[in-house]
């Protein structure tokens, strides 16, 4: 009986940790309507045509489309960042961060706390960009991860 109670306690603790993790994971798309123009991974740079690693997902839409944060968190950067142009970085906890680049307008400030799906910016063409799109990145413990995998996983996590 004691072994069964310990096993149950361990499973309840694991379930609690998993729920805490899912609560901060960026499991949604940052836009309501988009098409993907460039996936995560090695690709030819659209400007200089050289092979390079692309650490995000490029989501195309009309200039001014609303951009939403994909998980609750805190804004750690909101401003101009070189080739990314108008840029936002959000820390979600548990090692997760998301980055949003090439914005037309930034609607948040550094230090601001965000709830899931708060509007944070408008789609644009700032920085080193070939047209209106959102460069979206997911970073876990300092390492870039494929954002499309998180968006796909979220479709199952939030399924009715």
Q: SS in 3 state form for 38-89?
A: ECCEEEECCCCCCEEEECCEEEECCCCCEEECCCCEEEEEEEECHHHCEEEE
Tell me the pTM. 0.90
More confidently predicted of 1 and 92: 92
Alpha-carbon distance of 121 to 144, in angstroms, equals: 22
Q: What letter would DSSP give residue 92?
A: E
Q: pLDDT tens for residues 6-46? A: 899 999 999 999 999 999 999 999 999 999 999 998 887 76
CB crowding 115-132: b at 16 or more within 10 Å, else e: ebebebbbbbebbebeeb
Question: Could you tell me which of 93, 65, 89, 94 has the C-alpha nearest to residue 137?
Answer: 89
Question: What pLDDT, on the 0 to 100 scale, is given for residue 49?
Answer: 76
Q: pLDDT tens for residues 30-86? A: 999 999 999 998 887 767 778 788 899 999 999 999 999 999 999 999 999 999 999
Question: Could you tell me which of 114, 111, 84, 112 has the C-alpha nearest to residue 99?
Answer: 84
The answer, yes or no, to whether residue 156 has pLDDT greater than 90, is no
Q: pLDDT tens for residues 90-125? A: 999 999 999 999 999 999 999 999 999 999 999 999
Kind and range of the H or E element at 22? helix 2-24
The answer, yes or no, to whether residue 145 has pLDDT greater than 70, is yes
Question: What pLDDT, on the 0 to 100 scale, is given for residue 159?
Answer: 64
The answer, yes or no, to whether residue 160 has pLDDT greater than 70, is no
Question: What pLDDT, on the 0 to 100 scale, is given for residue 28?
Answer: 95
Read off the pLDDT band of 155 (50, 70, 90).
confident
């Amino acid at each position: 009986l004691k072994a069964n109670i310990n096993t149950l306690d361990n499973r309840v603790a694991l379930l609690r940790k998993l729920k805490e993790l899912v609560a901060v994971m960026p499991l949604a798309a940052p836009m309501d309507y988009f098409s993907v123009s460039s996936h995560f991974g090695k690709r030819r740079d659209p400007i200089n045509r050289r092979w390079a690693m692309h650490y995000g997902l490029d989501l195309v839409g009309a200039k001014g489309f609303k951009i939403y944060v994909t998980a609750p968190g805190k804004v750690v950067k909101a401003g101009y960042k070189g080739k990314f142009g108008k840029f936002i970085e959000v820390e979600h906890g548990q090692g997760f961060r998301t980055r949003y680049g090439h914005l037309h307008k930034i609607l948040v400030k550094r230090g601001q706390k965000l709830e899931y799906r708060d509007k944070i910016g408008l789609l644009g063409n700032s920085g080193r960009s070939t047209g209106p799109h959102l460069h979206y990145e997911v970073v876990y413990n300092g390492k870039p991860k494929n954002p499309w995998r998180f968006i796909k996983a979220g479709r199952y996590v939030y399924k009715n």
